[in-house]
Structure 1
Amino acid sequence: MIPSMVRKQIDNFSLEQICLSGQCFRMKQEDGEENRYSLIAGDRYLEIEQQGNVNTFYCDEETFEHFWKDYFDLERDYADCIGRINPRDTYLADAASFGAGIRILRQDLWEMIVTFLISQQNNIVRIRRCIQNICEAYGEERTDGRGRLYYGFPKPEALAGLDEDALKACNLGYRSKYVVRAARSVVSGEIDLEAVRRMSYKKAREELLKLFGVGEKVADCICLFALHHLQAFPMDTHMIQALNAHYKRGFPNRRYKDIKGIMQQYIFYFELFGKK
Protein backbone atom coordinates (compact mmCIF):
# COMPACT_ATOMS: atom_id res chain seq x y z
CA MET A 1 0.00 0.00 0.00
CA ILE A 2 1.40 3.40 -1.06
CA PRO A 3 1.12 5.84 1.87
CA SER A 4 -0.74 9.11 1.36
CA MET A 5 1.57 12.04 0.94
CA VAL A 6 1.51 15.74 0.27
CA ARG A 7 4.54 17.42 -1.26
CA LYS A 8 5.07 21.15 -0.72
CA GLN A 9 7.83 23.61 -1.56
CA ILE A 10 8.26 25.81 1.52
CA ASP A 11 10.82 28.54 2.17
CA ASN A 12 11.99 29.44 5.68
CA PHE A 13 11.15 25.96 6.96
CA SER A 14 13.67 23.63 8.60
CA LEU A 15 12.62 20.44 10.36
CA GLU A 16 15.92 20.32 12.23
CA GLN A 17 15.62 23.86 13.52
CA ILE A 18 11.98 23.44 14.56
CA CYS A 19 12.84 20.19 16.34
CA LEU A 20 15.68 21.83 18.30
CA SER A 21 13.99 25.17 18.98
CA GLY A 22 12.62 24.27 22.41
CA GLN A 23 8.95 24.62 21.60
CA CYS A 24 8.06 21.05 20.60
CA PHE A 25 9.20 17.97 22.54
CA ARG A 26 7.45 15.12 20.69
CA MET A 27 9.27 15.65 17.42
CA LYS A 28 12.37 13.64 16.60
CA GLN A 29 14.71 12.71 13.79
CA GLU A 30 14.04 9.18 12.58
CA ASP A 31 16.86 6.75 13.34
CA GLY A 32 19.33 6.53 10.48
CA GLU A 33 17.38 9.00 8.31
CA GLU A 34 18.97 12.42 8.34
CA ASN A 35 16.16 14.23 6.53
CA ARG A 36 13.12 12.45 7.98
CA TYR A 37 11.35 13.43 11.19
CA SER A 38 8.35 12.12 13.10
CA LEU A 39 6.01 14.16 15.22
CA ILE A 40 3.18 13.44 17.64
CA ALA A 41 0.76 16.31 18.29
CA GLY A 42 -1.97 15.38 20.73
CA ASP A 43 -3.24 12.10 19.28
CA ARG A 44 -1.95 12.72 15.73
CA TYR A 45 1.19 11.21 14.23
CA LEU A 46 3.09 12.56 11.23
CA GLU A 47 6.27 11.77 9.35
CA ILE A 48 7.91 14.43 7.19
CA GLU A 49 10.85 14.23 4.82
CA GLN A 50 12.81 17.29 3.73
CA GLN A 51 15.10 17.75 0.75
CA GLY A 52 16.11 21.40 0.46
CA ASN A 53 12.88 23.36 0.48
CA VAL A 54 10.80 20.42 -0.78
CA ASN A 55 8.88 18.73 2.03
CA THR A 56 6.91 15.51 1.89
CA PHE A 57 4.20 15.20 4.54
CA TYR A 58 3.07 11.58 4.92
CA CYS A 59 -0.63 12.23 5.38
CA ASP A 60 -3.65 12.79 3.15
CA GLU A 61 -4.42 16.17 1.59
CA GLU A 62 -7.43 16.81 3.81
CA THR A 63 -5.48 16.23 7.04
CA PHE A 64 -2.67 18.45 5.77
CA GLU A 65 -5.05 21.28 4.82
CA HIS A 66 -7.17 21.13 7.96
CA PHE A 67 -4.52 20.45 10.58
CA TRP A 68 -0.82 20.40 9.66
CA LYS A 69 -0.77 23.51 7.48
CA ASP A 70 -2.06 25.57 10.39
CA TYR A 71 0.05 23.66 12.94
CA PHE A 72 3.27 24.63 11.14
CA ASP A 73 2.05 28.21 10.45
CA LEU A 74 2.68 27.69 6.75
CA GLU A 75 0.59 30.62 5.54
CA ARG A 76 2.76 33.22 7.29
CA ASP A 77 5.54 34.89 5.27
CA TYR A 78 8.55 34.47 7.56
CA ALA A 79 10.84 36.10 5.01
CA ASP A 80 8.74 39.24 5.43
CA CYS A 81 9.21 39.05 9.23
CA ILE A 82 12.98 38.77 8.78
CA GLY A 83 12.88 41.65 6.31
CA ARG A 84 11.45 43.89 9.03
CA ILE A 85 14.60 43.61 11.15
CA ASN A 86 16.48 46.86 11.58
CA PRO A 87 19.54 46.49 9.30
CA ARG A 88 21.66 48.24 11.95
CA ASP A 89 20.77 45.48 14.44
CA THR A 90 23.44 43.05 13.25
CA TYR A 91 22.95 40.72 16.23
CA LEU A 92 19.24 40.14 15.50
CA ALA A 93 19.92 39.93 11.75
CA ASP A 94 22.55 37.25 12.39
CA ALA A 95 20.21 35.37 14.73
CA ALA A 96 17.38 35.42 12.20
CA SER A 97 19.69 34.30 9.41
CA PHE A 98 20.99 31.44 11.55
CA GLY A 99 17.50 30.25 12.56
CA ALA A 100 15.58 31.27 9.46
CA GLY A 101 13.85 27.88 9.22
CA ILE A 102 12.08 28.14 12.57
CA ARG A 103 8.28 28.39 12.62
CA ILE A 104 6.09 29.18 15.63
CA LEU A 105 3.94 26.08 15.94
CA ARG A 106 0.24 26.15 16.82
CA GLN A 107 0.12 23.43 19.45
CA ASP A 108 -2.56 22.12 21.78
CA LEU A 109 -3.20 24.34 24.81
CA TRP A 110 -3.42 21.55 27.40
CA GLU A 111 -0.31 19.85 26.05
CA MET A 112 1.63 23.11 26.25
CA ILE A 113 0.47 23.79 29.82
CA VAL A 114 1.86 20.43 30.92
CA THR A 115 4.96 20.68 28.73
CA PHE A 116 6.08 24.02 30.09
CA LEU A 117 5.23 23.15 33.67
CA ILE A 118 7.64 20.25 33.18
CA SER A 119 10.22 22.49 31.45
CA GLN A 120 11.01 24.52 34.56
CA GLN A 121 14.63 24.14 35.70
CA ASN A 122 14.97 21.35 33.17
CA ASN A 123 16.89 20.58 29.96
CA ILE A 124 15.53 19.56 26.57
CA VAL A 125 16.66 15.92 26.77
CA ARG A 126 15.04 15.41 30.15
CA ILE A 127 11.85 17.27 29.16
CA ARG A 128 11.46 14.91 26.20
CA ARG A 129 11.93 11.89 28.45
CA CYS A 130 9.42 13.16 31.04
CA ILE A 131 6.78 13.78 28.39
CA GLN A 132 7.39 10.39 26.81
CA ASN A 133 7.01 8.78 30.24
CA ILE A 134 3.67 10.41 31.07
CA CYS A 135 2.33 9.66 27.58
CA GLU A 136 3.26 5.99 27.86
CA ALA A 137 1.79 5.78 31.36
CA TYR A 138 -1.43 7.78 30.87
CA GLY A 139 -1.96 8.42 27.16
CA GLU A 140 -4.13 6.37 24.82
CA GLU A 141 -2.45 3.76 22.63
CA ARG A 142 -2.41 4.48 18.90
CA THR A 143 -0.72 3.06 15.82
CA ASP A 144 1.10 5.02 13.14
CA GLY A 145 1.04 4.54 9.38
CA ARG A 146 3.53 1.66 9.65
CA GLY A 147 1.53 -0.11 12.35
CA ARG A 148 3.91 0.91 15.13
CA LEU A 149 2.58 1.74 18.57
CA TYR A 150 2.65 5.29 19.91
CA TYR A 151 0.82 7.14 22.67
CA GLY A 152 -1.42 10.18 22.56
CA PHE A 153 -0.99 12.99 25.04
CA PRO A 154 -2.85 12.25 28.30
CA LYS A 155 -6.12 14.12 28.79
CA PRO A 156 -6.65 16.19 31.95
CA GLU A 157 -9.14 13.56 33.14
CA ALA A 158 -6.40 10.91 33.08
CA LEU A 159 -4.24 12.95 35.47
CA ALA A 160 -6.69 14.79 37.71
CA GLY A 161 -7.40 11.82 39.99
CA LEU A 162 -3.76 11.05 40.69
CA ASP A 163 -1.94 11.64 43.93
CA GLU A 164 0.08 14.85 43.66
CA ASP A 165 3.34 12.91 43.78
CA ALA A 166 2.29 10.16 41.35
CA LEU A 167 4.15 11.64 38.40
CA LYS A 168 7.45 11.46 40.24
CA ALA A 169 7.47 7.90 38.86
CA CYS A 170 7.67 9.54 35.41
CA ASN A 171 10.73 11.54 36.53
CA LEU A 172 8.85 14.83 36.97
CA GLY A 173 10.14 15.35 40.50
CA TYR A 174 8.59 18.34 42.27
CA ARG A 175 6.80 19.29 39.03
CA SER A 176 4.43 16.36 39.56
CA LYS A 177 2.17 18.41 41.81
CA TYR A 178 2.10 21.26 39.27
CA VAL A 179 0.79 18.97 36.53
CA VAL A 180 -1.73 17.13 38.72
CA ARG A 181 -3.11 20.37 40.14
CA ALA A 182 -3.36 21.86 36.63
CA ALA A 183 -5.35 18.80 35.52
CA ARG A 184 -7.67 19.21 38.50
CA SER A 185 -8.18 22.89 37.68
CA VAL A 186 -9.20 22.02 34.12
CA VAL A 187 -11.46 19.10 35.04
CA SER A 188 -13.20 21.10 37.80
CA GLY A 189 -13.84 23.99 35.41
CA GLU A 190 -11.74 26.39 37.44
CA ILE A 191 -9.76 26.98 34.24
CA ASP A 192 -11.82 26.88 31.02
CA LEU A 193 -9.44 26.02 28.18
CA GLU A 194 -11.95 26.94 25.48
CA ALA A 195 -12.40 30.35 27.04
CA VAL A 196 -8.63 30.84 27.31
CA ARG A 197 -8.27 30.03 23.60
CA ARG A 198 -10.57 32.94 22.77
CA MET A 199 -8.86 35.47 25.05
CA SER A 200 -6.48 38.25 24.12
CA TYR A 201 -2.82 37.79 24.98
CA LYS A 202 -3.10 39.90 28.13
CA LYS A 203 -6.20 38.15 29.45
CA ALA A 204 -4.96 34.65 28.54
CA ARG A 205 -1.67 35.33 30.33
CA GLU A 206 -3.52 36.51 33.44
CA GLU A 207 -5.69 33.40 33.42
CA LEU A 208 -2.75 31.05 32.97
CA LEU A 209 -0.92 32.70 35.87
CA LYS A 210 -3.72 31.46 38.14
CA LEU A 211 -2.49 27.89 37.65
CA PHE A 212 -0.29 26.55 40.45
CA GLY A 213 3.32 26.50 39.27
CA VAL A 214 2.83 28.81 36.29
CA GLY A 215 5.04 31.90 36.39
CA GLU A 216 5.54 34.63 33.82
CA LYS A 217 8.00 32.74 31.61
CA VAL A 218 5.83 29.59 31.49
CA ALA A 219 2.68 31.66 30.81
CA ASP A 220 4.43 33.40 27.92
CA CYS A 221 5.64 30.08 26.47
CA ILE A 222 2.08 28.74 26.57
CA CYS A 223 0.73 31.94 25.00
CA LEU A 224 3.31 31.80 22.22
CA PHE A 225 3.43 28.09 21.37
CA ALA A 226 -0.21 27.14 21.98
CA LEU A 227 -2.27 30.30 21.52
CA HIS A 228 -0.01 31.86 18.87
CA HIS A 229 0.09 35.21 20.61
CA LEU A 230 3.13 36.57 18.83
CA GLN A 231 3.34 39.48 21.29
CA ALA A 232 4.63 36.99 23.90
CA PHE A 233 8.37 37.17 24.56
CA PRO A 234 9.39 34.41 27.01
CA MET A 235 12.38 35.30 29.15
CA ASP A 236 14.77 32.66 30.49
CA THR A 237 18.45 32.84 31.41
CA HIS A 238 19.55 32.61 27.74
CA MET A 239 17.28 35.51 26.79
CA ILE A 240 18.30 37.62 29.79
CA GLN A 241 21.97 37.17 28.90
CA ALA A 242 21.32 38.06 25.26
CA LEU A 243 19.35 41.19 26.10
CA ASN A 244 21.92 42.32 28.66
CA ALA A 245 24.69 41.89 26.09
CA HIS A 246 22.98 43.36 23.02
CA TYR A 247 20.06 45.53 24.16
CA LYS A 248 21.28 47.65 27.06
CA ARG A 249 18.31 50.00 26.58
CA GLY A 250 15.86 47.14 26.23
CA PHE A 251 14.53 45.16 23.28
CA PRO A 252 12.85 47.35 20.60
CA ASN A 253 9.35 46.12 21.44
CA ARG A 254 7.50 48.74 19.44
CA ARG A 255 9.20 47.84 16.14
CA TYR A 256 8.36 44.14 16.48
CA LYS A 257 5.22 44.31 18.63
CA ASP A 258 3.18 41.90 16.48
CA ILE A 259 6.06 39.46 15.81
CA LYS A 260 8.08 39.64 19.03
CA GLY A 261 7.64 35.91 19.63
CA ILE A 262 9.26 35.11 16.29
CA MET A 263 12.21 37.34 17.13
CA GLN A 264 12.44 35.66 20.54
CA GLN A 265 12.80 32.26 18.90
CA TYR A 266 15.56 33.49 16.59
CA ILE A 267 17.48 34.88 19.59
CA PHE A 268 16.87 31.81 21.77
CA TYR A 269 17.99 29.39 19.04
CA PHE A 270 21.04 31.54 18.20
CA GLU A 271 22.07 31.64 21.86
CA LEU A 272 21.77 27.85 22.11
CA PHE A 273 23.42 26.78 18.87
CA GLY A 274 24.90 29.73 17.00
CA LYS A 275 27.56 31.00 19.33
CA LYS A 276 31.12 29.83 18.76
Structure 2
Amino acid sequence: MKILKDNNNLIIEDVKSFNIMQILECGQCFRFYKIGELDYLIIAHNRVLRVEQKDNQVILYNTSMEDFEKIWSNYLDIHTDYNSIKETLLTKDSNLIESINVKEGIRILKQDTWETLISFIISQNKQITHIKQVIENLSKEYGTIIGEHNGVDYYSFPTPEQLAGTTDEALRNCKTGFRAPYILDTSQKVASGEIDINELKKASTSEAREKLISIKGVGNKIADCVLLYGLGRTEVFPTDVWIKRIVEHMYLKEESKLDKIQEFAATHFGELAGYAQQYLFYYGRENKIGK
Protein backbone atom coordinates (compact mmCIF):
# COMPACT_ATOMS: atom_id res chain seq x y z
CA MET A 1 0.00 0.00 0.00
CA LYS A 2 1.26 3.46 -0.94
CA ILE A 3 -0.13 6.89 -0.03
CA LEU A 4 0.46 9.70 -2.54
CA LYS A 5 -0.41 13.39 -2.40
CA ASP A 6 -2.05 14.98 -5.45
CA ASN A 7 -2.76 18.69 -4.91
CA ASN A 8 -5.24 18.72 -2.00
CA ASN A 9 -6.12 15.04 -2.36
CA LEU A 10 -4.59 11.86 -0.99
CA ILE A 11 -4.44 8.70 -3.09
CA ILE A 12 -4.09 5.31 -1.43
CA GLU A 13 -2.79 2.74 -3.88
CA ASP A 14 -2.94 -1.05 -3.68
CA VAL A 15 -5.09 -1.22 -0.56
CA LYS A 16 -6.48 -4.74 -0.29
CA SER A 17 -9.86 -5.88 1.06
CA PHE A 18 -11.40 -2.42 0.76
CA ASN A 19 -14.75 -1.60 -0.84
CA ILE A 20 -16.16 1.75 0.23
CA MET A 21 -19.75 0.77 -0.63
CA GLN A 22 -19.57 -2.43 1.43
CA ILE A 23 -17.91 -0.62 4.34
CA LEU A 24 -20.51 2.15 4.56
CA GLU A 25 -23.64 0.21 3.63
CA CYS A 26 -23.23 -2.85 5.86
CA GLY A 27 -25.26 -1.32 8.70
CA GLN A 28 -22.46 -0.15 10.99
CA CYS A 29 -22.70 3.62 10.36
CA PHE A 30 -25.26 6.18 9.28
CA ARG A 31 -23.65 9.50 8.31
CA PHE A 32 -22.78 8.98 4.67
CA TYR A 33 -24.19 10.15 1.34
CA LYS A 34 -23.79 8.37 -1.96
CA ILE A 35 -22.53 10.65 -4.73
CA GLY A 36 -21.88 8.04 -7.40
CA GLU A 37 -20.62 4.53 -7.96
CA LEU A 38 -18.08 3.86 -5.18
CA ASP A 39 -18.14 7.59 -4.43
CA TYR A 40 -19.35 8.78 -1.01
CA LEU A 41 -19.40 11.74 1.34
CA ILE A 42 -18.63 10.77 4.95
CA ILE A 43 -19.34 12.85 8.05
CA ALA A 44 -17.23 11.71 11.00
CA HIS A 45 -15.07 13.11 13.80
CA ASN A 46 -16.21 16.68 12.99
CA ARG A 47 -14.97 16.40 9.42
CA VAL A 48 -16.55 16.10 5.97
CA LEU A 49 -14.68 13.75 3.65
CA ARG A 50 -15.36 12.64 0.10
CA VAL A 51 -14.02 9.14 -0.63
CA GLU A 52 -13.98 7.66 -4.12
CA GLN A 53 -12.67 4.29 -5.21
CA LYS A 54 -11.30 3.76 -8.70
CA ASP A 55 -9.69 0.49 -9.71
CA ASN A 56 -6.96 -0.10 -7.12
CA GLN A 57 -6.99 3.47 -5.81
CA VAL A 58 -8.90 5.07 -2.93
CA ILE A 59 -9.04 8.85 -3.27
CA LEU A 60 -9.59 11.09 -0.24
CA TYR A 61 -10.54 14.54 -1.52
CA ASN A 62 -9.48 17.83 0.07
CA THR A 63 -7.76 16.38 3.09
CA SER A 64 -4.28 16.64 4.54
CA MET A 65 -1.74 14.01 5.44
CA GLU A 66 -2.05 15.22 9.02
CA ASP A 67 -5.81 14.54 9.09
CA PHE A 68 -5.25 11.19 7.41
CA GLU A 69 -2.76 10.13 10.04
CA LYS A 70 -4.74 11.54 12.98
CA ILE A 71 -8.28 10.64 11.88
CA TRP A 72 -8.95 8.80 8.63
CA SER A 73 -6.39 5.99 8.70
CA ASN A 74 -7.84 4.90 12.02
CA TYR A 75 -11.48 5.57 11.12
CA LEU A 76 -11.22 3.56 7.89
CA ASP A 77 -9.11 0.90 9.64
CA ILE A 78 -6.60 1.19 6.81
CA HIS A 79 -3.66 -0.54 8.48
CA THR A 80 -5.47 -3.69 9.66
CA ASP A 81 -4.56 -6.79 7.62
CA TYR A 82 -7.99 -8.02 6.54
CA ASN A 83 -6.51 -10.65 4.24
CA SER A 84 -5.02 -12.31 7.30
CA ILE A 85 -8.32 -12.00 9.21
CA LYS A 86 -10.23 -13.63 6.36
CA GLU A 87 -7.70 -16.43 6.02
CA THR A 88 -7.93 -17.16 9.74
CA LEU A 89 -11.73 -17.18 9.66
CA LEU A 90 -11.77 -19.53 6.69
CA THR A 91 -9.50 -22.00 8.47
CA LYS A 92 -12.10 -22.05 11.26
CA ASP A 93 -15.16 -22.22 9.06
CA SER A 94 -15.56 -23.09 5.37
CA ASN A 95 -19.22 -21.98 5.57
CA LEU A 96 -17.93 -18.40 5.38
CA ILE A 97 -16.35 -18.83 1.93
CA GLU A 98 -19.25 -17.37 -0.06
CA SER A 99 -19.98 -14.60 2.47
CA ILE A 100 -16.34 -13.47 2.49
CA ASN A 101 -15.89 -13.78 -1.27
CA VAL A 102 -18.97 -11.69 -2.01
CA LYS A 103 -18.40 -9.10 0.75
CA GLU A 104 -14.60 -9.19 0.73
CA GLY A 105 -14.21 -5.41 1.02
CA ILE A 106 -15.90 -4.87 4.40
CA ARG A 107 -13.90 -3.14 7.14
CA ILE A 108 -15.02 -2.28 10.64
CA LEU A 109 -14.93 1.49 11.08
CA LYS A 110 -13.44 3.03 14.22
CA GLN A 111 -16.30 5.34 15.13
CA ASP A 112 -16.77 7.90 17.88
CA THR A 113 -18.14 6.11 20.96
CA TRP A 114 -20.65 8.81 21.91
CA GLU A 115 -22.07 9.14 18.40
CA THR A 116 -22.29 5.35 18.07
CA LEU A 117 -24.20 5.08 21.34
CA ILE A 118 -26.86 7.64 20.37
CA SER A 119 -27.04 6.38 16.78
CA PHE A 120 -27.85 2.84 17.84
CA ILE A 121 -30.37 4.02 20.43
CA ILE A 122 -32.06 5.77 17.50
CA SER A 123 -31.79 2.61 15.36
CA GLN A 124 -34.35 0.66 17.39
CA ASN A 125 -37.19 -0.48 15.10
CA LYS A 126 -36.12 1.84 12.31
CA GLN A 127 -34.86 1.30 8.78
CA ILE A 128 -31.48 2.73 7.84
CA THR A 129 -32.94 5.56 5.74
CA HIS A 130 -35.02 6.67 8.73
CA ILE A 131 -32.09 6.39 11.14
CA LYS A 132 -29.98 8.55 8.85
CA GLN A 133 -32.73 11.17 8.67
CA VAL A 134 -33.20 11.39 12.46
CA ILE A 135 -29.44 11.74 12.98
CA GLU A 136 -29.37 14.46 10.31
CA ASN A 137 -32.28 16.24 12.02
CA LEU A 138 -30.48 16.20 15.38
CA SER A 139 -27.21 17.38 13.83
CA LYS A 140 -28.84 20.29 12.02
CA GLU A 141 -30.80 21.31 15.13
CA TYR A 142 -28.06 20.98 17.75
CA GLY A 143 -24.73 20.58 15.98
CA THR A 144 -22.54 23.17 14.27
CA ILE A 145 -21.56 23.60 10.63
CA ILE A 146 -18.30 21.76 9.93
CA GLY A 147 -18.13 21.93 6.14
CA GLU A 148 -19.98 22.01 2.86
CA HIS A 149 -20.08 20.10 -0.42
CA ASN A 150 -21.66 21.41 -3.60
CA GLY A 151 -23.38 24.19 -1.69
CA VAL A 152 -24.84 21.93 1.02
CA ASP A 153 -23.83 22.54 4.64
CA TYR A 154 -22.99 19.60 6.89
CA TYR A 155 -23.15 19.60 10.67
CA SER A 156 -21.28 18.01 13.54
CA PHE A 157 -22.96 15.33 15.60
CA PRO A 158 -24.33 17.01 18.77
CA THR A 159 -22.24 16.79 21.92
CA PRO A 160 -23.70 15.32 25.14
CA GLU A 161 -23.99 18.86 26.50
CA GLN A 162 -25.87 20.09 23.43
CA LEU A 163 -28.46 17.31 23.73
CA ALA A 164 -28.63 17.31 27.54
CA GLY A 165 -30.01 20.84 27.55
CA THR A 166 -32.96 20.14 25.27
CA THR A 167 -36.38 18.64 26.01
CA ASP A 168 -38.33 15.49 25.23
CA GLU A 169 -40.71 17.49 23.03
CA ALA A 170 -37.88 19.12 21.08
CA LEU A 171 -36.26 15.75 20.45
CA ARG A 172 -39.58 14.33 19.26
CA ASN A 173 -39.79 17.23 16.80
CA CYS A 174 -36.61 15.74 15.27
CA LYS A 175 -38.62 12.51 14.64
CA THR A 176 -36.96 10.50 17.40
CA GLY A 177 -40.32 9.11 18.57
CA PHE A 178 -40.28 6.87 21.66
CA ARG A 179 -36.48 7.10 21.71
CA ALA A 180 -36.58 10.76 22.85
CA PRO A 181 -36.47 10.05 26.61
CA TYR A 182 -33.67 7.51 26.06
CA ILE A 183 -31.61 10.07 24.14
CA LEU A 184 -32.24 12.76 26.76
CA ASP A 185 -31.45 10.47 29.69
CA THR A 186 -28.24 9.19 28.06
CA SER A 187 -27.10 12.71 27.14
CA GLN A 188 -27.66 14.00 30.67
CA LYS A 189 -25.82 11.04 32.19
CA VAL A 190 -22.82 11.47 29.88
CA ALA A 191 -22.78 15.27 30.27
CA SER A 192 -22.84 14.97 34.08
CA GLY A 193 -20.11 12.30 34.11
CA GLU A 194 -22.37 9.58 35.50
CA ILE A 195 -21.54 7.66 32.32
CA ASP A 196 -17.87 8.29 31.49
CA ILE A 197 -17.03 7.56 27.84
CA ASN A 198 -13.29 7.49 28.59
CA GLU A 199 -13.83 4.95 31.37
CA LEU A 200 -15.81 2.77 28.95
CA LYS A 201 -12.77 2.76 26.65
CA LYS A 202 -10.54 1.56 29.51
CA ALA A 203 -12.96 -1.02 30.92
CA SER A 204 -13.00 -4.70 30.05
CA THR A 205 -15.59 -5.75 27.49
CA SER A 206 -17.85 -7.31 30.13
CA GLU A 207 -17.57 -4.24 32.38
CA ALA A 208 -18.28 -1.87 29.49
CA ARG A 209 -21.29 -3.96 28.43
CA GLU A 210 -22.69 -3.92 31.95
CA LYS A 211 -22.33 -0.15 32.13
CA LEU A 212 -23.95 0.34 28.73
CA ILE A 213 -26.90 -1.89 29.58
CA SER A 214 -27.49 0.21 32.70
CA ILE A 215 -28.47 3.09 30.39
CA LYS A 216 -32.19 3.49 29.82
CA GLY A 217 -33.13 2.13 26.39
CA VAL A 218 -29.91 0.16 25.86
CA GLY A 219 -30.25 -3.61 25.64
CA ASN A 220 -27.81 -6.35 24.66
CA LYS A 221 -27.92 -5.70 20.93
CA ILE A 222 -27.33 -1.93 21.18
CA ALA A 223 -24.61 -2.43 23.79
CA ASP A 224 -22.83 -4.92 21.55
CA CYS A 225 -23.05 -2.58 18.55
CA VAL A 226 -21.43 0.17 20.64
CA LEU A 227 -18.77 -2.26 21.84
CA LEU A 228 -17.90 -3.37 18.31
CA TYR A 229 -18.30 -0.17 16.29
CA GLY A 230 -17.61 2.46 18.92
CA LEU A 231 -15.08 0.74 21.18
CA GLY A 232 -13.31 -1.63 18.77
CA ARG A 233 -14.10 -4.83 20.69
CA THR A 234 -13.86 -7.20 17.75
CA GLU A 235 -14.66 -10.27 19.84
CA VAL A 236 -18.25 -9.04 20.20
CA PHE A 237 -21.01 -10.55 18.03
CA PRO A 238 -24.04 -8.18 17.86
CA THR A 239 -27.17 -10.26 17.39
CA ASP A 240 -30.41 -8.93 15.96
CA VAL A 241 -33.25 -10.73 14.20
CA TRP A 242 -31.29 -11.08 10.95
CA ILE A 243 -28.07 -12.44 12.43
CA LYS A 244 -30.10 -14.76 14.69
CA ARG A 245 -31.84 -16.26 11.65
CA ILE A 246 -28.60 -16.52 9.70
CA VAL A 247 -26.77 -18.37 12.50
CA GLU A 248 -29.74 -20.67 13.10
CA HIS A 249 -30.00 -21.42 9.38
CA MET A 250 -26.29 -21.88 8.64
CA TYR A 251 -25.04 -23.45 11.87
CA LEU A 252 -27.44 -24.39 14.65
CA LYS A 253 -30.22 -25.79 12.43
CA GLU A 254 -32.85 -24.91 15.02
CA GLU A 255 -34.42 -21.89 16.68
CA SER A 256 -32.16 -20.81 19.53
CA LYS A 257 -32.06 -18.27 22.33
CA LEU A 258 -29.68 -15.33 22.32
CA ASP A 259 -27.30 -16.81 24.90
CA LYS A 260 -26.82 -19.94 22.78
CA ILE A 261 -26.02 -17.87 19.69
CA GLN A 262 -23.58 -15.75 21.68
CA GLU A 263 -21.93 -18.85 23.13
CA PHE A 264 -21.64 -20.36 19.64
CA ALA A 265 -20.03 -17.18 18.23
CA ALA A 266 -17.55 -16.91 21.10
CA THR A 267 -16.51 -20.55 20.81
CA HIS A 268 -16.55 -20.78 17.02
CA PHE A 269 -15.06 -17.42 15.99
CA GLY A 270 -13.26 -16.30 19.15
CA GLU A 271 -11.55 -12.90 18.98
CA LEU A 272 -12.65 -12.51 15.34
CA ALA A 273 -16.38 -12.86 16.05
CA GLY A 274 -17.11 -9.22 15.18
CA TYR A 275 -15.54 -9.59 11.74
CA ALA A 276 -17.44 -12.83 11.11
CA GLN A 277 -20.66 -11.09 12.11
CA GLN A 278 -20.10 -8.36 9.51
CA TYR A 279 -19.57 -10.82 6.66
CA LEU A 280 -22.52 -12.99 7.72
CA PHE A 281 -24.90 -10.11 8.40
CA TYR A 282 -24.37 -8.16 5.18
CA TYR A 283 -24.34 -11.24 2.95
CA GLY A 284 -27.23 -12.92 4.74
CA ARG A 285 -29.39 -9.78 4.81
CA GLU A 286 -28.97 -9.15 1.09
CA ASN A 287 -29.65 -12.79 0.21
CA LYS A 288 -32.47 -13.16 2.75
CA ILE A 289 -30.86 -16.22 4.32
CA GLY A 290 -33.08 -17.76 6.98
CA LYS A 291 -36.08 -15.62 6.11
Return the TM-score normalized by structure 1.
0.93
1:125 aligns with 2:129: yes
- Listed one character per residue, the Cα deviations across residues 137-161 of structure 1 (whole Å, up to 9, x for unaligned) are 1111122376642100001111112
2:192 to 173, 188, 193: 188
Counterpart in the other structure of 2:274: 261
Match of 2:286 in 1: 273
- Are 2:142 and 2:158, in contact at CA under 8 Å, matched by a contact in 1? yes
How many residue pairs get aligned? The number is 273
Q: Determine the structure 1 residue equivalent to 2:158.
A: 154
Query: In the superposition, relative to structure 1, how do residues 86 and 18 fare at CA in structure 2: closer, same or farther (>3 Å)?
Result: closer
The 1-side partners of 2:106 and 2:179 are apart by 28
1:197–1:227 contact (8 Å) kept in structure 2? yes
Mapping 1:128-207, distance limit 5 Å: 128-144=132-148, 148-207=152-211
- Residue 207 of structure 1 and its aligned partner are, at CA, apart by 1.1
Cα gap change, 1:35 to 1:86, in 2 (>3 Å) = closer
Structure 2 unaligned spans of 5+: 1-5, 254-260
User: Counterpart in 2 of 1:11?
Assistant: 16
1:3 Cα offset (Å):
5.5
Specify the SS of the correspondent of 2:267: coil
Which residue does the alignment assign to 1:84?
88
What's the TM-score, normalizing by structure 2? 0.89
CA distance in 1, matches of 2:32, 2:56: 19
Segments of 4+ moved more than 4 angstroms: 145-148
Where structure 1 has 5 or more consecutive residues not aligned to the other structure, the ranges are none
Percent identity over paired residues:
35
Who is 1:52 aligned against?
A: 55
Matched, 1:22 2:27: yes
Tell me the residue number matched to 1:38: 41
- Between 1:67-76 and 1:89-98, the stretch displaced more is 89-98
- 1:53–1:203 distance in 2 versus 1, CA, 3 Å: farther
Task: Tell me which moved more, 239-248 or 141-150.
Answer: 141-150
Aligned to 1:237: 241
Distance 1:92 1:132, change over 3 A: same
C-alpha change, 1:129 and 1:258, in structure 2 (3 Å) is: same
Match of 1:101 in 2: 105
Encode CA deviations 1:4-29: one digit per residue, 9 max, x unaligned.
Answer: 11111211111111121111100121
TM-aligned CA deviation for residue 134 of structure 1: 0.6
SS at match of 2:74: helix
Determine the C-alpha separation between the residues in 1 that align with 2:270 and 2:55.
31
Q: Residue 271 of structure 2: SS of its match in structure 1?
A: coil
